[in-house]
């Protein structure tokens, strides 16, 4: 029993001696050790956090416009219409900075999409559905912002 008490005292004296030798940097060292203990490595089996398509600070109707534009842009890019997809991404980018200007740019892209025709009937129907979804979302946001009315041809 006496040996254990002596061993504990010797150990404490050794730790105290080391801390005295380290001097003023002892506080920084203790903080580093504590921060290392709190850092956790994510588990391989832990599911990843879902990514958001639209920035979280935007109005839900604006987010709906951006999601519809992303869907349409991805579809256009997959079907070889890079230029229109690039214009659509540009208009979506403008919405996050200057929403009215971005909506007007989106309206211009939608007008251009009306003239786009595809050979495949299924692809044409999908394009029409995605364009309609975006047009409705843009129109809702126009009405919500009380901008000039959305012009239909």
pLDDT in tens, 75-106: 889 888 899 999 999 999 898 888 888 889 99
pTM, two decimals, is: 0.59
Tallying the residues shown for the chain, one arrives at 153
Q: How far apart are CA 153 and CA 99, in angstroms?
A: 23
Residue ranges per domain, the chain? 60-145
| Per-residue confidence (pLDDT) for residue 90, from 0 to 100 | 92
Share of the chain above pLDDT 70, in %: 82
Contacts of 72 (CB under 8 A, 6+ apart): 88, 113, 130, 131, 133, 134
Least confident window among 19-23, 32-36, 39-43, 66-70:
39-43
Kindly give the residue spans of alpha helices, DSSP state H, lying in the chain: 2-22, 26-38, 60-78, 82-97, 99-114, 121-145
């Amino acid at each position: 029993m006496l040996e254990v008490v002596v061993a504990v005292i010797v150990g404490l004296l050794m730790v105290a001696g080391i801390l005295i030798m380290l001097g003023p940097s002892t506080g920084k060292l203790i903080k580093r050790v504590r921060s290392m203990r709190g850092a956790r490595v994510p588990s391989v089996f832990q599911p990843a956090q879902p990514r958001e398509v639209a920035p979280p600070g935007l109005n839900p109707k604006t987010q709906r416009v951006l999601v519809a534009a992303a869907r349409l842009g991805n579809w256009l890019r997959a079907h070889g219409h890079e230029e229109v997809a690039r214009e659509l991404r540009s208009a979506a980018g403008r919405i996050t900075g200057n929403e009215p200007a971005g909506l007007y740019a989106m309206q211009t892209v939608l007008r251009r999409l009306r003239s786009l025709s595809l050979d495949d009937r299924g692809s044409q129907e999908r394009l029409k559905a995605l364009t309609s979804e975006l047009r409705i979302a843009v129109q809702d946001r126009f009405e919500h912002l009380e901008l000039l009315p959305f012009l239909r041809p």
